[in-house]
Amino acid sequence: MKVLVVGGGGREHALCWKIAQSPKVRELYCAPGNGGIGQVAELVEIAPTDIEGLVRFARDRGIDLTVVGPEAPLVAGIVDAFEAEGLEIFGPRRAAAEIEGSKAFAKEFMKRHGIPTAPYRIFSDPAEAKAWIKASKEKVVVKASGLAGGKGAIVTEDQEEAIRAVETIMVERAFGPAGDLVVVEERLYGEEASFIAFSDGTHCLPMPSSQDHKPVFDGDRGPNTGGMGAYSPAPLITPELSSRVMAEIMVPTIRGLAEEGRPYRGVLYAGLMIDQEGNLWVLEFNCRFGDPETQPILVRMKGDLVEVLEACLKGRLDEVSVGWDPRAAVCVVMASGGYPGPYEKGKEIHSLQEAEGMEDVWVFHAGTTFKDGRFFTAGGRVLGVTGLGETIPEAIERTYRAVERISWEGVHYRRDIGQKALKYL
């Protein structure tokens, strides 16, 4: 079969790497891809948001299955457009993808279906939002309701910071139209984890737990990014807690969306907050594979990913099972200096082959170009170096040994990815 992957980041490189292993796949394309993806798939110069162009390409090339990585095309209705042309595509339709596309919708949905989440208010007027914050005594998180590349949630320490966050989002329009509405919610305390599952609209098949590291600096300091690293499994999520997440969050969400005429086929990602007493809350829903969580999860996946994707599309997810490597995986994101702010591109990357030659290490490209036999930086997040180990400490050690072999001018990465897990071991 012919497969097209939409997107060009580290998540899409991991997807292409795994899909290329399927005996069913004869041709693999990626639009637009990146330098590293070009080693396993044929690159197509079409932007992920150019839905018309992607439909035309899939139709003209006889693509049998399209897999969508990023959220923007899903929220924009790429699945609806492909299905209208009779083309097979993996991901939720526009109505179901609203669970990520609108935080306001997601919060109201959770309220309707009794899914645990922080108390909140929704505002379309910045003056009203600021007045409510001034009258409130709670610490809050201010979130742009729309898509903001994982950077639209501002955790605040006091009223002044919260009011400034409203200004940034709604008045200065830091995230453009994503800030037309803001969600102001009570700040929760605990530890975050990612829980990601496949869904065929009725059934739900969980992937192993994982934990992302959003802030740019060690110790979870600095502004939020798209993710500076991840590991799997997250020992915070015990088998008992995993069962509760399925029963209290994932299954009710899939069922609730179906009841509201929004059947959910694709990957559903719940960003969780878990406190010391084991209380659970949903911080956010995403309508796609996580990035960088996909990298450590897929290196642990046994078997054929394409079979699982097809089962989701055919409504028979209950008929498949997935095996997972019991070892731990850690992904460290190597970023351009200055990220998530302004950064320079075009820096030559050195010693990639040396790192890739290590046993149980994979280097997934997120923002690279390949020219004249050399790789150059082309994004904020550049590489996701991922290693397997018998234990989390061993995976951390192996991954950082690989990271330290790679260099370019201004490279930046966190040095504490996975450390949160150690207290549970």
Instruction: Read off the pLDDT of each residue in 183-209 and give the average, rounded to a whole number.
Output: 96
Cα dist from 78 to 84, 176, 347, whole Å? 10, 21, 34
Is the pLDDT assigned to residue 150 strictly greater than 90?
A: no
Q: Domain 119-186, what architecture? A: 2-Layer Sandwich (3.30)
Pick 2-94's CATH classification: 3.30.70.380, 3.40.50.20, 3.20.20.70, 3.40.50.1100: 3.40.50.20
- Write out the CATH class of domain 328-424: alpha beta
pLDDT exceeds cutoff 90 at 425: no
pLDDT of residue 305: 98
Residue 416 and residue 297: Cα distance in Å, rounded? 19
> What does the pLDDT average to over 363-375?
97
What are the structure tokens assigned to 79, written together?
A: 């699945």
Q: Which helix (H) or strand (E) holds 186?
A: strand 182-186
- Quickly tell me which residue has 């935080």 as its tokens: 103
Considering the domain 191-324 in this protein, what is its CATH number? 3.30.470.20
Distance, in Å, from the CA atom of 263 to the CA atom of 255, rounded to the nearest integer, reads 8
The amino acid at 49: T
Per-domain residue ranges of the chain: 2-94, 119-186, 191-324, 328-424
Q: 184 - beta bridge partners?
A: 121, 142
Give burial (CB, 10 Å; 0-12/13-18/19+) of 161: middle
Instruction: Identify whether the C-beta of residue 68 lies closer than 8 Å to the C-beta of residue 43.
Output: no
CB 349 within 8 A of CB 377: yes
Backbone angles phi, psi at 182, to 5 degrees: -120, 150
Contact assessment for residue 183 and residue 120, using Cβ atoms and an 8 Å cutoff: yes
- Tell me whether the CATH fold assigned to 2-94 matches the one assigned to 191-324: no
Residues 203-233 have pLDDT tens digits of: 999 999 999 999 999 999 998 899 999 999 9
Q: Where are the beta strands (DSSP E) in 275-420?
A: 280-286, 301-302, 323-324, 328-335, 361-365, 368-371, 374-377, 381-389
Residue 293 pLDDT level (bands cut at 50, 70, 90): very high
Q: Average pLDDT of 180-188?
A: 97
Residues 4-34 have pLDDT tens digits of: 999 999 999 999 999 999 999 999 999 999 9
pLDDT digits (tens, 9 = 90+) for 307-360: 999 999 999 999 999 999 999 999 999 999 999 999 999 999 999 999 999 999
Q: How far apart are CA 29 and CA 324, in angstroms?
A: 26
d(CA 12, CA 17) in angstroms, rounded, equals: 8
In the predicted model, what is the mean pLDDT of residues 124-144? Answer: 95
Is 28 in a helix, a strand, or coil? strand
pLDDT of 197 higher than 90: yes
pLDDT at site 223: 87
Residue 392 banded pLDDT, cuts 50, 70, 90 = very high
Give the E-state strand segments of 187-243 in sequence order. 191-200, 204-206, 211-212, 215-217, 221-224, 229-232
Q: What pLDDT does 149 receive?
A: 83
What average pLDDT score do residues 142-163 get? Answer: 93
